[in-house]
Amino acid sequence: MSHSLHDQTLALGGLCQAAALVQQIAHNGSCNETSLETCVRSLFATNPDSTLDVYGGEISDIREGLTVLSTVLAQHGRPQDVEILRYVFNLIQLESKLKRDPEMLQVIGNRIDQARHTASHFGYSHGNLLGNLASIYADTISTYRLRIQVTGNPQILQRSENADKVRALLLAGIRSAVLWRQSGGHRWQLLFKRKKVVNHARELLR
């Protein structure tokens, strides 16, 4: 896995995309379907040729995440930016916990593999697949003491299809956090190399 700023920025873009979509669903009950599919598809990209291939091979697939990355890391003053950043940092924390739990990783890997059939049969945004991925998240990562508190409209979040999307996206966020770490990403980078990441995200968006 390449340890370049380019790969780290792409993986962070994927992470920001998942976090931003969680926020959109939690507040509005909907999100961009194509961006959602990109996040879900990344869970099944187990032997990619490049970091971008995890997200479908085109910058346009993670445009939303890169846009969020370039604004949230640059200003992080608006309440919605703070919320997205909280999700991003929580997902990075959960991933570092998961990294030290090989048994849990094995279970998640096996169950995602079993869900492959559903994905190829129904597509990446189908309710059956999202429900399947949500139950993987609920049975594994949700059992950790560190839990991600999703804030939004309680009535929207109570609807099972929205809850499923949120959990599936959190699982996809952890997939991107894994990728970010594999490409040399560290938490301190987000504090000290923020400007470089933001500038690269903006270059990619051009």
Record the pTM.
0.95
Radius of gyration of the chain (CA): 16
Helix and strand numbers (H, E) in the chain are 11, 0
Q: Given a cut of 60, is residue 1 above it in pLDDT? A: no
Q: What is the CATH number of the domain that holds 115?
A: 1.10.3890.10
Residue 187 lies in domain? 5-205
Instruction: Give the Cα separation of 146 and 112 in Å (integer).
Output: 22
What is residue 76's predicted lDDT score, i.e. its pLDDT? 62
How many Å separate Cα 20 from the centre of its chain? Answer: 9
Is-contact 81 90, C-beta < 8 A? no
Is the distance from CB of 134 to CB of 36 less than 8 angstroms? no
Domains contained in the chain, number: 1
Kindly report, residue by residue over 102-127, the tens digit of the pLDDT: 999 999 999 999 999 999 999 999 99
Tell me, rounded to whole angstroms, the distance of Cα 179 from its chain centroid. 10
Tokens of 199: 């500038």
Query: pLDDT per residue over 155-201, tens digit each?
Result: 999 999 999 999 999 999 999 999 999 999 988 878 788 899 999 99
